[in-house]
Structure 1
Amino acid sequence: MMIEEEIVIIGGGIAGLATALALKRVGFQSRVLERNPELRAGGTALTLLTNAWFALRALGVDHKLKSVYQPINKSLVTNLDTGAVQELGFSGTKENREDAGVITVHRKALLETLAEELPPDTIRFSSKLISIKSETLKDSTKATLLHLEDGTVIKSKVVIGCDGVHSAVAQWLGLSQPLSSGRWAARGLAVFPEGHGLNHGVKQYLSAGTRAGFVTINSKEIYWFVVTYSSLEKDISTNPELLLEEVEKNLAKDLPSEFLTIVKETDLSTLSWVPLLFRAPWNIAFCKAQNGCVTIAGDAMHPMTPDLAQGGCSALEDAIILARCISQAHPMATNDKQWLEKALKRYVEERRWRVTWLVAGAWLAGWVQQGGGGDQQWWSGMARWFRDRIESDLELDWAIDIPEIIGTEHGPYGQFQSQTGEEPFITVNHQGYPKFIFFNEKD
């Protein structure tokens, strides 16, 4: 069976759904192909920094999450090797605008918030991509053929790969496989039916080779993590009971009792044990992340370690910038048949260096915070010396304090309105088609 689509997005995660919604906001419909039978909820929770909330506001959904989740004002970071405790404030940008904030949300809640803004038939579930082929049409433009596991073939003018760390689209474009950081992360969600009684905030613990912490999501749930250099020979990723035992008896045995108490209340269905992967920064900086009308976004383009909490945030940025580039290159503004290809090329060039630095910064932050990988390596002493002097300054400050990505004609963070007043978060330009207005855009 052959189906024709204008824009197809591979992957129904954060990047995929945000991109579909951003395109909808600027007047373009898309089809999202999700390999699973329902929305993915892997990861349990994630922390959204200031740049993510700017993007969510542009998408028109930030208020739905902010009405449920509370901002985090500070994090307490304890160096277990020295006993030093440092308070890290989350005050947002230097301008301290009211939009700035750091909030931890359930990943599933974010996905559902994005999905419910899309037309009901936007997401095609149980649609696993098998192969990608390109063909040239009679008008010299290109189309991409997507072959699915169920035998369906989809012909699309534009393909956006948002299919995660092991992206089939990235592989088709020729990008190298992500690298291992040498670290693994155990994560889980602890549930206290009667309430945990802790103050809302974040606590982190740093020692040579280990980084752990927890963040309260609400009065009854706490998200926790342990990141370590692991040489485990047994596979514990598919056995939650064994994984929890490993965390309690080995990975977290030297952590404060408060942390272990939280771990004991973990919902086993939320446990995960995954390697921390990243794409080499030079591969992002110099790779060809666009070929014709095929490109990538989110983890498919720039998988990174979680040390700057920028994985999901940067994926939301991608969605906004991609929609802007396509909107600005709309054929109502040009007769160029290659306008879509040029729009995607512009998107890649605009994102390339920012995400390169985010990936490099995240890796450096993790290396410093965990002492360089163990006492047996010659650089670990230097890394711990560096860490003890800057502690967690690398973690959030420069990732939050970024140039503003989006704004409005009324100022950088005022509410978006169309000229008709009917559709928020969109404006209409003088040529009649919808587009985002961006603070750093020249009129």
Structure 2
Amino acid sequence: METVEDIVIVGAGIAGLTTALGLHRMGLRSLVLESSESLRATGFAFLTWTNAWKALDAVGIGDTLREEHVQLDGLESVSTISGLSSSYMSFKAPISKGNEVRAVRRKLLLDALVKDLPPGTIRFSSKLVSIEESGNLKLLHLADGSFLKTKALIGCDGVNSIIAKWLGLETPVFSERWAFRGIAEYLDGHGLERIFFQCSGNGSRCGMIPCDEKTVYWFFTWTPSSQEKCINDSPAMMKQFVLNNLGKAPEALVNAIEKTDLGSIVASQLRFRKPWNVLWGDISKGNVCVAGDALHPMTPDIGQGGCSALEDGVVLARCLAEALLEETRRESMKVEEKEEEECNRIKKGLEKFAKERRWRSFELISTAYMVGFIQQSDGKFLTFLRDKLLSPFLAGLLLKRAAYDCGKLNIS
């Protein structure tokens, strides 16, 4: 007997699990297919801005995560060339009123999302191989030889999304930059101020953010030479390379990196989707769409990758639920007619999602690329402009992009 699911979400990452939980809050079941054997929390932590907390509150897990992460007081930009602070922006000043910024551990976020999902929502070791048409349904072939059908297919399968490829979206491009990320544990407490330190200079960008009283997340991005790319496979070489290239970064950042275990350091290429591809490409087609990194992979320079994935999940759950929970117009309709009407409602719901997220995604990808270019530039002219004039503007731009409300789930 063929298995038919109403909604299949491919990928148990931030976007996929947020969508599944949002649908569950609105009374709809979904099936999440995850290719790995368990949840993956690569990257250790990420910055969550005000827009992310609105999304987390919408799916009902905001307060749980607030208890586990400290709220940041401000952002300080430092030149690694001079060692001097180029700007400070308070998250509590009147101009920043209503802002909430924290560094959230990815594992804790994923655990919180999964905790309230019904048992059996996630099917691990289930890798999607191909997609076929089957009337109004999509036929999904999995790597283990099994297959299933679905009325709605949601691609939250990351930067290498097979569903984005099926939709015809271009492959994300490599920015030529790499990132090292790590997390330092202080058993007796780190005693740091609740400040996001962001440092730029000599062609690199780095920073550190306390997650709680005992954990500090740090990052380092740069454009490697051909000789330097070999270090990406060795945590020991990564760690030493970062320590050798911090310039006059704050001593606390140096200490955090020195304290980081080699098993808590990862390297990744920074890729992004061309913003015009998001603006003009097919985000949705019929009963298929993409969200999260499958939709808008971006460089991490404004800290909105994970935040916008949370937004996607809320908006997508709302649009799909409104479509699927709409009552059939006529009870006398034949089964085939009801199925056709439901298919059309799903299509319109996904088109509504695409319309709402298209410009937002374009704006975030473009802003992230521009900010990263300026912050990581090592040219004398741009370095002077960044350190003397642009730092307050760039810091303010982060808050401006975070001033977004994805809305609520309209739970009755």
Provide Cα deviations, 1:74-104, integer angstroms capped at 9, x if missing partner. 122112345343112224996834xx41011
Q: Give per-residue Cα distances to partners, 1:33-55, cap 9 Å, x unaligned.
A: 11111111101011111111111
TM-score with structure 1 setting the length: 0.84
8 Å CA contact retained: 1:206, 1:212: yes
- Give the secondary structure class of the aligned counterpart of 1:368: helix
Structure whose residues are more often helix by fraction: 2
Q: d(CA) in 2 for partners of 1:84 and 1:170?
A: 42
Assess, with a 3 A threshold, how the Cα gap between structure 1 residues 330 and 3 changes in structure 2: closer, same or farther: closer
* SS class of match (1:269): helix
SS of 2:326's equivalent?
Answer: helix
Partners of 2:49 and 2:254 in 1: CA distance: 27
CA distance in 1, matches of 2:199, 2:386: 16
Aligned counterpart in structure 2 of residue 188 of structure 1, from 176, 182, 190? 182
2:52 aligns with: 52
Change (3 A) 1:247 1:94: closer
Q: CA deviation at 1:256?
A: 4.1
**Structure 1 Cα separation of the partners of residues 8 and 236 of structure 2:** 39
Give the letter for the 1:5 counterpart: E
In the other structure, the counterpart of 2:235 is: 240
State the percentage of identical aligned residues: 38
1:158·1:293 contact (CA, 8 Å) conserved in 2?
Answer: yes
Match of 2:338 in 1: none
Specify the alignment match of 2:10 in structure 1. Answer: 10
Question: In structure 1, what is the equivalent of residue 348 of structure 2?
Answer: 342
Q: 1:7, CA displacement in angstroms?
A: 0.6
Give the conservation status (yes or no) of the 8 Å contact 1:25–1:426: no
How many angstroms apart in 2 are the aligned matches of 1:44 and 1:324? 29
Q: Matched residues in 1 for 2:5 and 2:70: separation?
A: 40
Aligned equivalent of 1:147: 141
TM-superposed deviation, 1:260: 2.0
* Preserved CA contact (<8 Å) 1:19 1:323: yes
* AA at the equivalent of 1:303: P
Q: Distance in 1 between matches of 2:97 and 2:300?
A: 24
Amino acid at match of 1:220: K
1:135 Cα deviation from its structure 2 partner: 2.1
Contact 1:298 1:318 in 2 (8 A): yes
Q: CA deviation at 1:387?
A: 5.7
Task: Give yes or no for contact 1:10–1:162 (8 Å, CA) kept in 2.
Answer: yes
Identify the residue that residue 397 of structure 1 maps to in structure 2: 399
Aligned to 1:368: 374
Match of 2:43 in 1: 43
Tell me the CA shift for residue 306 of structure 1. Answer: 0.9
Q: Return the alpha-carbon distance in structure 2 between the equivalents of residues 383 and 247 of structure 1.
A: 20
User: In the alignment, does 2:279 pair up with 1:282?
Assistant: no
> Aligned pair in 2 of structure 1 residues 80, 323: CA closer, same or farther (>3 Å)?
same
Deviation at 1:301, TM superposition (A): 0.2
2:201 touches 2:383 (CA, 8 Å); kept in 1? no
Equivalent residue, structure 1, for 2:104: 105
Q: Deviations over 1:287-329 (max 9, x none)?
A: 0111110100000000011111111111111111112212222
Shift of 1:204: 1.6
Shift of 1:270: 1.9
What is the aligned partner in structure 2 of residue 359 from structure 1? 365
The answer to whether the 8 A contact 2:86-2:387 is kept is no
Q: Is contact 2:8–2:154 with CA below 8 Å preserved after alignment?
A: yes
2:411 paired residue number: 427
1:305 to 296, 299, 302: 299
Q: Read off the aligned partner of 2:400 and give its amino acid letter.
A: W
Specify the code of the residue in structure 1 equivalent to 2:236: E
Instruction: For 1:26 and 1:173, locate their aligned partners in 2 and report how far apart those are by CA, in whole Å.
Output: 27
How many residues matched?
A: 396
**Which residue is 2:72 aligned to?**
72
User: Equivalent residue for 1:204?
Assistant: 198
Secondary structure of 1:235's aligned partner: helix
Distance 2:95 2:320 in 1: 31
Task: Indicate conservation of the 8 Å contact 1:13/1:40, yes or no.
Answer: yes
Q: Which has the higher contact order (CA 8 A, sep 6+)?
A: 2
CA RMSD in angstroms, aligned pairs only: 2.1
Partner SS, residue 237 of structure 1: helix
TM-score normalised by the chain length of structure 2: 0.90
Q: Offset at 1:367? A: 1.0
**Structure 1: distance between partners of 2:386 and 2:206:** 19
Stretches of structure 1 that go unaligned for 5 or more consecutive residues are 137-141, 408-424, 429-443
Give 1:240's aligned amino acid. P
The change in CA–CA distance for 1:397 and 1:426 in structure 2 (over 3 A counts) is closer
Q: Return the offset for 1:333.
A: 4.0
Instruction: Give distance in 2, aligned partners of 1:124 and 1:306.
Output: 29
> Which amino acid in 2 is paired with 1:122?
T
Map 1:251-330; keep pairs closer than 5 Å: 251-252=245-246, 255-330=249-324
Could you list the structure 1 runs, at least 4 aligned residues long, displaced by more than 6 angstroms after superposition: none
Gaps (5+ residues) in structure 2? 330-340
- Distance in 2 (CA, whole Å) between partners of 1:384 and 1:278 is 27
Task: Please name the residue that 1:26 is paired with.
Answer: 26
1:114 match: 113
